[in-house]
A and B are shown apart, each in its own frame.
Chain A
């Protein structure tokens, strides 16, 4: 089995700070990696800003306590070791002694305590550190997180871009809640990561340079990283092909992915996005009309052919997903899909009390938030026509227009893409939790409510035994698949593209490029 999730909470993990994987090639030092960001950066400070665009520069500028390898095993990073108490209420981080910020100031446990406070107050994902009550700092290199309840999700939340340790002596000069607007979020940014900021010009580039006092000896391998901002996917594709870009991540257009796969000099891979966990699905508003009837929702699932979406629309670039958890996650429990069965769909609709009258059973609307998923939406309309459901496609002028409809429950069906963000507690619960109904976009916009599901999520959130936790999530996934508040169709096909001849050890772990690339090198 590919994913062996370590016993996270009870075990004491002690490992050396040395590399996590072995490489065929000897890494070479030096050189400038030219890579790309697909949209403008709002904020470089990943302690107050989430998202994949901030994640890439953010994870180079700031270090986090842990990092994960490609098998979802936590590895030491700023914390050389860590332990969780038996009751799961205390997590102790033993920090490396030689970590410094880019301005030369040593990194201490006070910075960890400060960062947790800042993240709690400013980061958009409240669930990451909500149970953390205080952070004690018995000495300069020990940080003790005191929890109100056991919180296994903390492990993934301490990795990647999610827990960036920022310097207190720079960002602590005002109110904690003002850090999100701190002037040094975009210029003179100071972190302790492998690279420091040289220049950030929004709309043009982020330029990073090797930090010579990085706390891991001999790293990073690269001298410089140039992240160009190119928002047009077709222009990016040409730049990979003609060699202007060495590497890029988060490419998701099937046509472009398949074209780049045909280019000899490039490697194009879907590996490495498990923790980002991007999923495409058909959302169904369970609060009103025919869709409040589970039989109708099931009928729709039977009538919409995943195979068609996968082959014709995604052109073979996406993988099948059957639950709200990404297939690469150790918590994924595959469910029997709803294979195309028009007869069964018709039966279910009859049973639900929607017989064909004047050639139609019911009329529904379908929404979509960005032009890229229009083919899926048009397909759903055509597919449901076959079971005599009339579907009206509603376009939204832009993302906020659609977000408003979703956030206020003004829709029947909608195409949607939602990310897992590591642990299910962070990115999965929000979609199914009945206490999170209609709280803005990407909340429980389907108004789905099931007491057992709520209970399972509440138990899984505090379950310290890994096997038991998996079992809870397995039951959760089975119920979701059976009641279809959303019909899971496929993963969003994020791909990493890199020049095979030039780039050694590209970041293919679980966090895409939202992870330090201190081990990446130029051949």
Chain B
């Protein structure tokens, strides 16, 4: 099967998958008792019965399930994700507003976790039973097992309260006046604690995997040969062994990306980071079906595109990998 055929078949699968995601989630939202009229009443501190009814009529919540579903799918087919019941804004707009903050947090945390994880993994692989190795394992497993909201609060108490080095919440200090560099620096200062919190979870995965693959590589013949040639230790480790040890780590990092995004939901909540995670969290609580479905739609799209690219890249890199029969 050639490249274009693969792409076509994959795209058709992708569309079917997206539809399934929407129908399934729509049905699940519908099964849950109560609706957005209740949460609007909650935000208002109560509402009279006729107001509740008016909200349900306005949003078509009084219509039969299949009518609601049909309308929604029809809109999505026309690339219209609809209006948020809760915020009364177009869903696409709501999501696009929040996306940059989440991408910034997720990418920086992922990069930090990768860099630090690989470094720690390499260090501990060289003396697998030394004190350093045990220490690295301890730190990594601690970060992995501690819930992120707890780690977040702990960091806040330490570095925003005891040592007042970092701000408590948000992404920027609106009272700061200054040019581009001042504002960029301000965002960086706000980013550090949430980034560390989110990275702490994934640090363990990357450092443990690097450690394991490095140990394996260090026992191979080519490493022995390199030492025999008289190559310095650093060069052997960082230039030869590490290169070969990295590829499974990068594969894992790709697989973990969706997990990082879902981890961001809690981190964003603790640090009031104005991203998609906070939006997803508040929309679920508010039963804001169009927004939740919109976020799921976007997430599914990102995952599908990611998988597609991975498949295609693999096929390009290694022709032995077959089609998708």
Smallest CB gap from B278: residue in A? A203
- In the complex, which residues of chain B have a beta carbon less than 8 angstroms from the beta carbon of A403? 34, 38-39, 41-42
Residues in B with CB closer than 8 Å to A436 are 49
* A235 contact from B39, B40, B156, Cβ within 8 A: B156
Tell me the residues in window 228-282 of chain A with beta carbons closer than 8 Å to chain B beta carbons. 228-232, 234-236, 238-239, 241-242, 244
The interface residues of chain B lying within 8 Å CB-to-CB of A168 are none
Chain A residues with Cβ below 8 Å from B170 are 204-205, 228, 230
Q: A239 vs B45: C-alpha distance in the bound complex, in angstroms?
A: 26
Q: How large, as a class, is the contact surface on chain A?
A: 35 or more
Are B44 and A49 in touch, CB under 8 angstroms? yes
Interface centre among B89, B168, B174 (most CB of A within 10 A): B168
Q: In the assembly, what is the distance between CA of A239 and CA of B170, in Å? A: 11
Q: Is the CB of A232 within 8 A of B269?
A: yes
Contacts of A186 in B (CB 8 A): 89
A232 touches B169 (CB 8 A): yes
Judged by a CB distance under 8 angstroms, whether B75 is at the interface is: no
Is there an interface contact between B168 and A238, defined as CB atoms closer than 8 Å?
A: yes
Taking the complex as formed, is A440 at the interface, i.e. its CB lies under 8 A from any CB of chain B? yes
A400 an interface residue at 8 Å Cβ cutoff?
yes
Q: Check A231 against B269 for contact (C-beta < 8 Å).
A: yes
A 401-417 binary contact with B (CB < 8 Å = 1; else 0): 11111010000000000
Q: Is B160 an interface residue (CB 8 A)?
A: yes
Interface-facing stretch out of B14-22, B65-73, B231-239, B279-287: B279-287
In whole angstroms, how far apart are the Cα atoms of A398 and B40 in the complex?
14
Partner of A427, one of B46, B160, B167, B272: B46
Q: Is A434 an interface residue (CB 8 A)?
A: no
Query: Quick one: closest A residue to B149, CB to CB?
Result: A232
Please determine whether A124 and B51 come into contact, CB atoms closer than 8 angstroms.
Answer: yes
Which listed segment binds B: A50-58, A105-113, A336-344?
Answer: A50-58
Contacting pair A244 B48 (CB below 8 A): no
Task: Select B174's contact among A226, A235, A430, beta carbons within 8 Å.
Answer: A226
In-complex Cβ contact of B48 among A125, A185, A400, A401 (8 A): A125
Residue in contact with A230 in the complex, picked from B34, B157, B161, B169, CB distance below 8 Å: B169
Q: What's the tally of chain B residues with a CB closer than 8 Å to chain A?
A: 51
Q: Does A126 count as interface, using CB distance less than 8 angstroms?
A: yes
Q: Among the interface residues B34, B50, B287, which one has the most CB atoms of the partner chain A within 10 A?
A: B34
Complex contact B285–A398 (CB within 8 A): yes
Contacts of A51 in B (CB 8 A): 43-45
Which of B43, B50, B270, B284 has the largest count of A CB atoms less than 10 A from its CB? B43
* Complex Cα spacing A69 to B287, Å: 38
* Cα A199 to Cα B52 with chains together (Å): 30
Q: Does residue A201 face the partner (Cβ distance < 8 Å to B)? A: yes
Which single member of B39, B45, B86, B98 contacts A421 (CB below 8 Å)?
Answer: B45
Q: Is B229 an interface residue (CB 8 A)?
A: no
Query: Is B274's CB under 8 angstroms from A124's CB?
Result: no
Q: Knowing A203-B279, A238-B157, say if A419 contacts B38 (CB, 8 Å).
A: no
B32 near A: Cβ within 8 Å? yes
CB proximity of A515 to chain B, nearest CB, Å: 15
Chain B 3-39, CB-CB to A under 8 Å as 1, else 0, gives 0000000000000000000000000000011111111
- Residues on B lying within 8 angstroms of A by beta carbon are 32-52, 86-89, 98, 153, 156-157, 160-161, 164, 167-172, 174-175, 269-272, 274, 278-279, 282, 284-285, 287
Given contacts A238-B161, A399-B285, A403-B41, 19 further A-B contacts (CB under 8 A): A39-B282, A40-B87, A40-B282, A42-B40, A49-B43, A50-B46, A52-B45, A124-B48, A203-B98, A207-B174, A232-B169, A234-B156, A235-B270, A399-B42, A400-B32, A419-B46, A427-B45, A440-B49, A441-B46
Q: List 10 A-B contacts (CB under 8 A).
A: A125-B46, A126-B50, A203-B98, A229-B272, A234-B153, A241-B161, A399-B39, A400-B33, A439-B48, A441-B41
